[in-house]
Structure 1
Amino acid sequence: MVGMPSSASYDVHNPALALTIAGSEATGGAGAQADLKTFQELGTFGMVALTCIVSFDPKDDWNHRFVPVQPEVIAAQLEAIQADYAGTLKTTKLGMMGSPDTISTVATALKNQDWDHVVLDPVLICKGQEPGHALDTDRALSAELLPLATFTTPNHFEAEQLSGLTIETVEDLQQAAQRIHEISGAVVLAKGGMKLDGPDAVDVFYDGETLEVLSVPKVGDHGVSGAGCSLAAAVTAELAKGATPLDAARRAKDFVTAGIKQRVAGNTPFDALWQGGLRDA
């Protein structure tokens, strides 16, 4: 990939640390599994605190089955991680939470230390949840985790929900990214993905000063499982290694594009991103 930004440098004998607080997705395409593979590919030492277990149901059109991890178990995982790497763990990614109780537990743990980077992938919908419970979770995420984030990666739907804007064009996506930054103070990488008309998959970066459109030709006609998780995880890994937010966003975009091009097919109606896509790039 000509012109592709290089990964931030790292010491193979003393790797940067990156934590994901996320759900398990058993088939390996998304969730904590995708996060850890992304961390490894980009040269960071990954660790995980699981918030829930999501498994597709092959007997029900591959719909989600959602099982939460108890808050005390989540708290225990985070206590162990934070105690083990006290003073050195400064970067974390937040993925699927699944419940207001989980969000409160995670927010409490995050406040127990200082962070250089908190990357929030604001997962507002879990298909295995009841609508009322999902709405409560969405509100808790916006109230408790978004204010703690230093960087957030909303997809098209999430960007509309967080900004209050309808997004139909690249210009709309730019406005939404700016609005979310105003609301949260976080750096924003708003993802248009497959949702915007046109030949390109477009994301918008905004940090309060720099507004940059990241655009590559679309790959295929359908979304790929794990693309959002892996994008946020790649941003997290690059930030942990010392990259600027803009360079982290650019590198993450390339990482995901390569992974989509080399997607993994199974029996689900969607393919999975391959986190090793950049190996031969």
Structure 2
Amino acid sequence: MSSTTHPPVTLTIAGSEATGGAGAQADLKTFQELGTYGITALTCIVSFDPKDNWNHRFVPVDPQVIADQLEAIQTAYDLGTVKIGMLGTPATIDTVAKALQSQHWTNIVLDPVLICKGQEPGAALDTDQALKAQILPLATFVTPNHFESMSLAGMDAIESVDDLKEAAKRIHEASGAVVLAKGGVRLEGDDAVDVFYDGETMEVLRAPKVGDVAVSGAGCTLAAAITAELAKGATPLEAARSAKAFVTEGIRNRVSSNTPFDALWQGGAASGPAL
């Protein structure tokens, strides 16, 4: 790369996940692998508790500290592309919404993390409602998982590809954003299925399932890969296709640890087939 060529700058506003499999750690690794300059503003600290069945421990970052991070980042760089990951509290959502509204963005990719298992149910519901009211309308691209698609679409169940298509349509109509509704391993069949919908094009993206258990970091990495590809100039559909292929290789080359779940490896696509 010549000295006059700079990589696209991609920001993630997300939480830290201490084992490295998800959150800001996954986002930054994805950005690096895909050739963008990654920056993060941390919203919360999440650490799994090995003494409590590996459930989440959740600590929010003070809203003023989040605002300070974003002030520094937005002053330092002329940003056009941002990924929104876990926000975690209504106060954080309010702070991030104000920062987003302070400038023009070409791409706001929302991975709508609706439930954090470390929160009380009442607090989680307040956070979900704030996210839908304040962040979703700003998003240009949204990547809900199976549960989040049901919640955002107002559906009681998503059990088929047709259900997933209906959810994608409803979420697009409600938000105006491009939607990649993720079925993943949760739908019956041999393929992991996601549905892309931008208001005109409806495309079902398929890849053979790699195992039948969700892998930590898959959702974060998919949204981060979409973010990176958009920053490099891809169309939303191109970004979705590339990101799915990237995640599939990351799952195939996943990392095992002493946790009861495996983690996606963002270097998997570059490493070749898993042994």
TM-score using structure 2 length: 0.97
Structure 1 position 280, deviation (Å): 3.6
Measure, in 2, the Cα distance between the counterparts of 1:183 and 1:73.
32
Amino acid at match of 1:26: A
Q: Deviations over 1:145-200 (max 9, x none)?
A: 00000000000000000001221100000010011000000000000001101111
Query: In the alignment, what sits opposite 2:5?
Result: 13
Structure 1 261/206 Cα, relative in aligned 2: closer, same or farther at 3 Å? same
Measure, in 1, the Cα distance between the counterparts of 2:42 and 2:108.
17
2:11 is paired with a residue of what secondary structure? Answer: strand
1:168 is paired with a residue of what secondary structure? Answer: coil
Structure 1 102/23 Cα, relative in aligned 2: closer, same or farther at 3 Å? same
Match of 2:253 among 226, 250, 262: 262
Measure, in 1, the Cα distance between the counterparts of 2:115 and 2:170.
21
Amino acid at match of 2:43: T
2:16 is paired with a residue of what secondary structure? Answer: strand
Query: In the alignment, what sits opposite 1:84?
Result: 76
Measure, in 2, the Cα distance between the counterparts of 1:51 and 1:146.
17
Correspondences of 1:43-58 after superposition (within 5 Å): 43-58=35-50
TM-score using structure 1 length: 0.95
2:269 is paired with a residue of what secondary structure? Answer: coil
1:92 is paired with a residue of what secondary structure? Answer: strand
Measure, in 2, the Cα distance between the counterparts of 1:122 and 1:171.
22
1:219 equivalent to 2:210? Answer: yes
1:251 equivalent to 2:238? Answer: no
1:161 equivalent to 2:151? Answer: yes
Correspondences of 1:30-69 after superposition (within 5 Å): 30-69=22-61
Correspondences of 1:201-216 after superposition (within 5 Å): 201-216=192-207
Q: Is the 8 A contact 1:12 1:43 kept in 2?
A: no
Query: In the alignment, what sits opposite 1:105?
Result: 95
Structure 1 position 11, deviation (Å): 9.7
4+ residue segments displaced more than 3 Å: 10-13
Q: Deviations over 1:17-37 (max 9, x none)?
A: 100000000110000000000
2:79 is paired with a residue of what secondary structure? Answer: coil
Q: Deviations over 1:191-212 (max 9, x none)?
A: 0001101111000000000000
Measure, in 2, the Cα distance between the counterparts of 1:12 and 1:58.
48
Structure 1 position 13, deviation (Å): 3.5
Measure, in 1, the Cα distance between the counterparts of 2:193 and 2:3.
32
Structure 1 position 12, deviation (Å): 9.2
Correspondences of 1:93-172 after superposition (within 5 Å): 93-165=83-155, 166-172=157-163
5+ unaligned residues in a row in structure 2: which ranges? none
Query: In the alignment, what sits opposite 2:219?
Result: 228
Structure 1 position 277, deviation (Å): 1.0
In the alignment of these two chains, the number of paired residues is 270
Amino acid at match of 1:27: T
Query: In the alignment, what sits opposite 2:165?
Result: 174
Q: Deviations over 1:30-88 (max 9, x none)?
A: 00000000000000000000000000111111111000000000000000000001xx3
Measure, in 1, the Cα distance between the counterparts of 2:139 and 2:119.
24
Amino acid at match of 2:109: V
Query: In the alignment, what sits opposite 1:187?
Result: 178
Amino acid at match of 2:145: N
Query: In the alignment, what sits opposite 1:277?
Result: 268
Query: In the alignment, what sits opposite 1:7?
Result: none
Measure, in 2, the Cα distance between the counterparts of 1:11 and 1:239.
23
- The CA RMSD over aligned residues, in Å, is 1.2
